[in-house]
Amino acid sequence: MAALVDLHLHTTASDGRLSPTELVRLVASKGLKQVSISDHDTTEGLAEAYRAGEEFPDLRIIPGIELSADVPGDEVHMLGYFIQYQNTQFQETLLRFRHGRVDRARSMVEKLASLGIQIEWERVQEIAGDGSVGRPHIALAMVERGYCKEPKDAFPEYLGRNGLAYVERTRMTPAETVELLTGVGGVPVLAHPAYLADMEATIAVLKEAGLVGMEVYYAKYNEETVGQLVELAKRYDLIPCGGSDYHGLGNSDEPLPGTMGPPLETVQRLEEVAKTLAPVSPH
Ligand code: AMP
Ligand code: ZN
Ligand code: FE
Ligand code: FE
């Protein structure tokens, strides 16, 4: 059965390939009722998404974001829901993260050049447009130049954590990430936990830092993994979340929005927590 909720979606504001308007129309056509746009280090897609959403009164768009946190030897993605994203300080912090992304992406392009992979930085910038630049934009440039067939093929050898062209970027600790999100009324949720090298230990650390939910109904996970995550979420008293993590990058295995998602009750639970977080001033 198609899902009614999808809490993990990307747009051209970061490394997704559909504009916020196109994405909103797509999710509405899939019959989704509650969605969150959760771009990497930016909320720049939300204003357009809300405008596009006026066409679909039955569709609720929850303001979200995806941040990266530093856990030694691993890459932790943290989602935040119901963020009061207009907060000026929050936006300044996000802008700093996005500047860091530009430097890092440039270094990755240089590293690729030293490995004989010739892609142009200007082309990567063009592909990213106004969006928060990320590795998928580099991967798309590599596909264009024939270095790989699909964007995801660029990761194991070059762009992934252990890839030859990987460059780290400055990341916050899990506690700092939680603080940044809750500071603007956002509910912190761990993204795609089954990709973690040491999942349970990391969940324990994050829970300690104030984590409230974790993705369970993640479209790329099979039934067995989802089952294990349901149990883990119960054990750590974390709200089970999830969605498609749709980017529209053209990878052959990419699930569409609405492929899998949490129950409607999850959104209620997230909203209840959001209400308990201190309201913030706009400055
Ligand atoms: P960045 O924000 O630059 O760190 O890039 C993160 C994005 O790269 C993720 O949201 C995915 O879209 C993509 N990505 C990361 N790791 C992989 C991988 N192993 N295979 C395919 N895509 C990946
Ligand atoms: Zn992404
Ligand atoms: Fe992610
Ligand atoms: Fe994502």
Q: What pLDDT was estimated at residue 282? A: 56
Give me the residues near ligand 4 (ion), CB cutoff below 5 Å: 66, 245
CB 178 within 8 A of CB 238: no
Same domain, 66 and 102: no
- Ligand 1 atom closest to Cα of residue 101: 3
Q: What is the tens place of the pLDDT at every residue in 266-283? A: 999 999 999 999 665 555
| Total-model pTM | 0.97
Question: Which residue minimizes the CA distance to atom 12 of ligand 1?
Answer: 136
3-10: average pLDDT: 98
34-57: average pLDDT: 98
For position 154, which CATH number holds? 1.10.150.650
Same domain, 32 and 56: yes
Same domain, 202 and 245: yes
Q: What pLDDT was estimated at residue 48? A: 98
| Residues with C-beta less than 6 Å from any ligand 1 atom | 15, 40, 134-136, 152, 155, 160, 247
Ligand nearest to the CA of 105: 1
**Domain-located, residue 222:** yes
**Domain-located, residue 124:** yes
Confidence of residue 2 (pLDDT cuts 50, 70, 90): confident
CB 225 within 8 A of CB 205: no
Same domain, 47 and 111: no
Residue 211 has pLDDT above 70, yes or no: yes
DSSP state string for 121-173 = HHHHHHHHTTS---HHHHHHHHHHTTS-SSGGGHIIIIISTTSTT------B-
Q: What is the tens place of the pLDDT at every residue in 147-200? A: 999 999 999 999 999 999 999 988 899 999 999 999 999 999 999 999 999 999
- Ligand 1 atom closest to Cα of residue 251: 21
Question: Which residue minimizes the CA distance to atom 16 of ligand 1?
Answer: 160
Range(s) of the domain holding residue 211: 5-87+181-276
**Which candidate, 184, 206, 208, places its Cα nearest to that of 65?**
184
Same domain, 81 and 219: yes
Q: Based on the structure, what is the number of domains in the chain? A: 2
Q: What pLDDT was estimated at residue 89? A: 97
Q: Is 198 helix (H, G, I), strand (E, B) or coil?
A: coil
Q: What pLDDT was estimated at residue 279? A: 65
Give me the torsion for CA of 42, 190, 82, 36, rounded to 10°. 70
- Ligand 1 atom closest to Cα of residue 15: 12
Q: What pLDDT was estimated at residue 16? A: 98
